[in-house]
Amino acid sequence: MANTNIDSVKQRSYDAIVIGSGISGGWAAKELTEKGLKTLVLERGRDVKHIVDYPTANKMPYEFEHRGEIPHATREANPILSRAGAWQEDTDHFFVKDNEHPYIQKKPFDWIRGYQVGGRSLLWARQTQRWSQYDFEGPARDGFAVDWPIRYEDIAPWYSHVESFAGISGNQDGLAELPDGEFLPPNPLNAVEDHFKEVLSERFEGRHLIAARFANLTKSTPTQLAQGRSQCLSRRLCKRGCPFGGYFSSNSSTLPWAEKTGNLTMRPHSVAHSVIYDEKHEKATGVRVIDSQTKEVTEYYAKIIFVNASTINTNLILLNSISSRFPNGMGNDNELMGKFVAFHNYNTKVRAEFEGLSEFATFGDRPGSTYIPRFRNMFRQETGFLRGYATAFSAKRNMYSDRSGIGQSLKESLLNPKLGGWYVGAQMMGETIPKESNSVSLDAKKTDTWGMPLLNIDIDFDENDRKMEIDSMEQLSEMFTAAGFKNIKTTQKHDAPGIDIHEMGGVRMGKDPKTSLLNEWNQLHACKNVFVTDGACMTSTSTQNPSLTYMALTARAANHAVEEMRKGNI
Amino acid sequence: MNRRQAIKRTVLLSGGMVFFKYSLLGQASSLSVPASATFGPKEERLLQLVVDTMIPTTDTPGAKDLGVDQFVLLMVNDCHSEQDQIAFYSGLHNLDAFTEKHFGQFFTLCDIDTRIEALNSVNKKSDASPELQTFFKIAKKLTIQGYLESKYVMTEALPHKMIPDPYDGYYPASKLGGKI
């Protein structure tokens, strides 16, 4: 009997446990298994195998019963999810439905989730811009949040590391505010985008339009071919899962790579209940797991734990990891865990038409668009609001048909589409300031189907965000006018936060254990063998799409963890 | 009435298509219609005639041949609000009366030119009910969508490329019929 118990514990013991298999968990798994660590990856959702579990990937539009549309009753039953543009008939199976995993909205917050192996890495927008020194210095310079414990030079080699493996397209643009990297060929710009780029460079100092950096393979190098991934074919059906591995996801890249080492154990249907703390040895010893199907509770053990459950769930798991040493959640001595959550502000759009360059059109497709790095308050404070916004921009010329008629004339018009004029569109991507009042916390009474406490989410925009929204519309309109764009239309939405799907913070990094939860290596200050490298670790948000930074922080932390293990420090 | 509470009756829609292989749903299908709707063989024929009038059969299949009437019903029932559904079925039901009043006979008995004129006049005549206007708006939108996104159009008339051509941001507009 005693032997059976020992065997059972042994069978449930690994060198490392990674909670979550999304974009950062996949990287933790890859780095740790490559270094020889027997690694257990826990995923609360079902398995999604690359290619075989992409049921809609090759379907023609007419093969979808409702031509892509989600039925009305389903939309009505999912008010939160229905606000996510990517939720369509072809991607339905990758999104969590509102009633499956409820949470409490103290203020409206659209929490969009993908519970499956690969998580939301299957569904992401794939923009991958590096942070610069000005982003890491932001909180210290402008006096908000806490100072980041790292600087650009600490993460730069890890950006290179993840870019080379994932395959990122882009130009060497030579901009201090958006550092260059290891890039595959860029996505081409079109005639009007080049025109706008020129207008900015001639008439707007410090404003640059570049080919956005994207995690789509504009070329397949031996590095990606070795992963079984080939060149992106510009199908723009990424969110169905790509049978060519044309874009980076955990499913197409890091997880199969980790599996090849022979050191990976993947356990789907595993809800992480809490991280287990050993009071005597003063360290974490494993993870308590609820089987999502049987509800059976099992403990798994490891020397190091990576918590990559996605920002809000990482907060949930750590807050739920209660021990005598940590009555408020693991590592939460200062009671700041769950606080200072921030996100990105996508609330404004500016659109216009352009009559020039009518000799050109666009043909075919590309997996990218263009990007204007932040230009407000970049090198010094110069407006009435803190920080700024980057801008996504694209120009296109569509084919259209006159639909006013009825009968044979309508049929002929539909079958003979005509070339329309140029349209341009821009969208802000604003930094929000982390505040103590923007928080997530465990509900004292309510629990979910698995007995996990429900989360209270209490997050909102503030005055700074509204000022920035107005500025973005004014500045973009001015830039559009200078470029000769006509019929400029601005829109200012009042979306709830969350729909940006860039929630960050709650377990922030910092230098001082009194004011932060994680150190410069993403270790909990108070429990050094627990690492948090998903969005929860973010001290501030800057304006860049965050996934690339999560990947680089994860690879950096995982390599540090292995070194520290080998030195016997953890 | 709450749509989800509504007891739905199932109406078997017959196929009868000339170009059966192109039909959207591939086979005669059963569709659920809101209980409050008036929908029987008469309305079924009427809708077929409406989509056929909007996008007629020529030397290539028209909307009716492609089963677009079934697509319209499917989308109205599955993807529209209860309010839209009620207006749609009521408007459809009233089309004959409207046509009789202004053009002397039921829509189903008019010749093609009169049918076109009748549909065009839905937005012009002041006595066209809001329901009839909603019916027309939805039916036209879905007929165009069902036609353009039919297998026939997407594979033969205007072939849809799952893999697009390589991107050219300086493609000569003249090659696409654009003005220079």
Q: Does A219 touch chain B (CB under 8 A)?
A: no
Residue A140 and residue A126 share a domain: yes
Asked whether residue B58 is domain-assigned, the answer is yes
Measured between CA atoms, the residue of chain A closest to residue B148 is A414
Q: Which residues of B touch A364 (CB under 8 A)?
A: 164-168, 171
Measured from the Cβ of residue A260, the count of other Cβ atoms closer than 10 Å reads 15
Q: Is the pLDDT of residue B120 over 90?
A: yes
Residue A108 and residue A252 share a domain: yes
Query: What mean pLDDT comes out for the span A474-490?
Result: 98
Residue A400 and residue A254 share a domain: no
pLDDT tier, B39 (very low <50, low <70, confident <90, very high otherwise): confident
Q: What pLDDT, on the 0 to 100 scale, is given for residue B32?
A: 63
Asked whether residue A87 is domain-assigned, the answer is no
Cβ-contact A518, A525 below 8 angstroms: yes
Asked whether residue A220 is domain-assigned, the answer is no
Beta pairing class for A439-447 and A418-431: unpaired
Asked whether residue B121 is domain-assigned, the answer is yes
Q: Is the pLDDT of residue A72 over 60?
A: yes
Residue A338 and residue A279 share a domain: yes
Q: Does A69 touch chain B (CB under 8 A)?
A: yes
Cβ-contact B161, A339 below 8 angstroms: no
- pLDDT for A504-563, tens place per residue? 999 999 999 999 999 999 999 999 999 999 999 999 999 999 999 999 999 999 999 999
A307: which 2 tokens? Answer: 């918590």
Asked whether residue A396 is domain-assigned, the answer is yes
Q: How far apart are CA A88 and CA A186, in angstroms?
A: 29
Q: Is the pLDDT of residue A338 over 80?
A: yes
Q: What pLDDT, on the 0 to 100 scale, is given for residue A163?
A: 98
Cβ-contact A362, A190 below 8 angstroms: yes
Residue A486 and residue A395 share a domain: yes
Host domain of residue B106? 9-176
Which amino acid is present at A89? Answer: E
* Weakest mean pLDDT among A89-103, A191-205, A555-569, B116-130: B116-130
Judged by CB atoms closer than 8 Å, whether chains meet at B58 and A71 is answered as no
Interface of B with A in 85-124 (CB under 8 A): 112, 116, 119-120
- pLDDT for A357-369, tens place per residue? 999 999 999 999 9
pLDDT tier, A2 (very low <50, low <70, confident <90, very high otherwise): low
Judged by CB atoms closer than 8 Å, whether chains meet at B154 and A61 is answered as yes
* Number of domains present in the structure of chain A: 2
Q: Is the pLDDT of residue B5 over 60?
A: no
Q: What pLDDT, on the 0 to 100 scale, is given for residue B1?
A: 35
Q: What pLDDT, on the 0 to 100 scale, is given for residue A158?
A: 98
Q: Which residues of B touch A190 (CB under 8 A)?
A: 169-170
Query: What mean pLDDT comes out for the span A51-63?
Result: 98
DSSP B157: I
Q: Please provide the average confidence, as pLDDT, over all residues in chain A.
A: 97
Q: Is the pLDDT of residue A159 over 60?
A: yes
Q: What pLDDT, on the 0 to 100 scale, is given for residue B34?
A: 72
Residues across chain B: 180
Query: What mean pLDDT comes out for the span A116-127?
Result: 98
User: Collapsing DSSP states into helix, strand and coil, what is residue A171?
Assistant: coil
Q: How far apart are CA A367 and CA A185, in angstroms?
A: 12
User: Collapsing DSSP states into helix, strand and coil, what is residue B30?
Assistant: strand
Residue A156 and residue A40 share a domain: yes
Residue A277 and residue A366 share a domain: no
Q: Does B8 touch chain A (CB under 8 A)?
A: no
Asked whether residue A80 is domain-assigned, the answer is no
Q: How far apart are CA B25 and CA B39, in angstroms?
A: 20
The distance of B3 to chain A (nearest Cα, Å) reads 8
Which amino acid is present at A71? Answer: P
Q: Is the pLDDT of residue B31 over 70?
A: no
Residue A550 and residue A423 share a domain: no
Q: How far apart are CA B131 and CA B135, in angstroms?
A: 6
Q: What pLDDT, on the 0 to 100 scale, is given for residue A3?
A: 64
pLDDT tier, B20 (very low <50, low <70, confident <90, very high otherwise): very low
Best probe of the B interface among A88, A406, A408, A422, by most B CBs < 10 A, is A406
Share of chain B above pLDDT 90, in %: 72
* Weakest mean pLDDT among A338-347, B14-23, B26-35: B14-23
Q: Is the pLDDT of residue B37 over 90?
A: no
Residue A293 and residue A180 share a domain: no
CA B114 to chain centre: 18
Q: Is the pLDDT of residue A196 over 50?
A: yes
- pLDDT for A379-421, tens place per residue? 999 999 999 999 999 999 999 999 999 999 999 999 999 999 9
Q: Is the pLDDT of residue A200 over 80?
A: yes
Q: What pLDDT, on the 0 to 100 scale, is given for residue A457?
A: 98
Q: Is the pLDDT of residue A267 over 50?
A: yes
Host domain of residue A312? 13-46+104-170+246-342+440-448+500-570
Q: Does A458 touch chain B (CB under 8 A)?
A: no
Residue A179 and residue A163 share a domain: no
**DSSP letters of A291-358?**
ETTT--EEEEEEEEEEE-S-HHHHHHHHHT---SS-TTSTT-TTS-TTEEEE-EE--EEEEEEE-S-T
Judged by CB atoms closer than 8 Å, whether chains meet at A234 and B54 is answered as no
Asked whether residue B13 is domain-assigned, the answer is yes
The distance of B34 to chain A (nearest Cα, Å) reads 13
Residue A568 and residue A471 share a domain: no
Q: Which residues of B touch A189 (CB under 8 A)?
A: 169
Nearest-CB residue to B58 (from A65, A67, A411): A411
Place of tokens 């999560």: A550
The distance of B71 to chain A (nearest Cα, Å) reads 8
Asked whether residue B4 is domain-assigned, the answer is no
Asked whether residue A51 is domain-assigned, the answer is no
CATH of the domain at A148: 3.50.50.60
* Number of domains present in the structure of chain B: 1
Count of CB contacts below 8 A, A vs B?
137
Q: How far apart are CA A533 and CA A309, in angstroms?
A: 9
Judged by CB atoms closer than 8 Å, whether chains meet at B81 and A72 is answered as yes
Considering only residues B19 and B154, tell me which one the structure prediction assigns the higher pLDDT.
B154
Q: Is the pLDDT of residue B23 over 70?
A: no
Of all residues in chain A, what percent are helix, strand and coil, respectively (each to 5)? Answer: 25, 25, 50
Q: Is the pLDDT of residue B14 over 50?
A: no
Measured between CA atoms, the residue of chain B closest to residue A58 is B162
Interface of A with B in 70-89 (CB under 8 A): 70-73
Q: What pLDDT, on the 0 to 100 scale, is given for residue B127?
A: 86
> Tell me, what's the ipTM?
0.93
Asked whether residue B32 is domain-assigned, the answer is yes
The distance of B128 to chain A (nearest Cα, Å) reads 18
Q: Is the pLDDT of residue A30 over 90?
A: yes
- pLDDT for A84-98, tens place per residue? 999 999 999 999 999
- pLDDT for A271-304, tens place per residue? 999 999 999 999 999 999 999 999 999 999 999 9
Residue A423 and residue A540 share a domain: no
Q: Is the pLDDT of residue B2 over 50?
A: no
Interface of B with A in 142-171 (CB under 8 A): 144-145, 147-151, 153-155, 157-158, 160, 162-171
Q: How far apart are CA A111 and CA A498, in angstroms?
A: 5
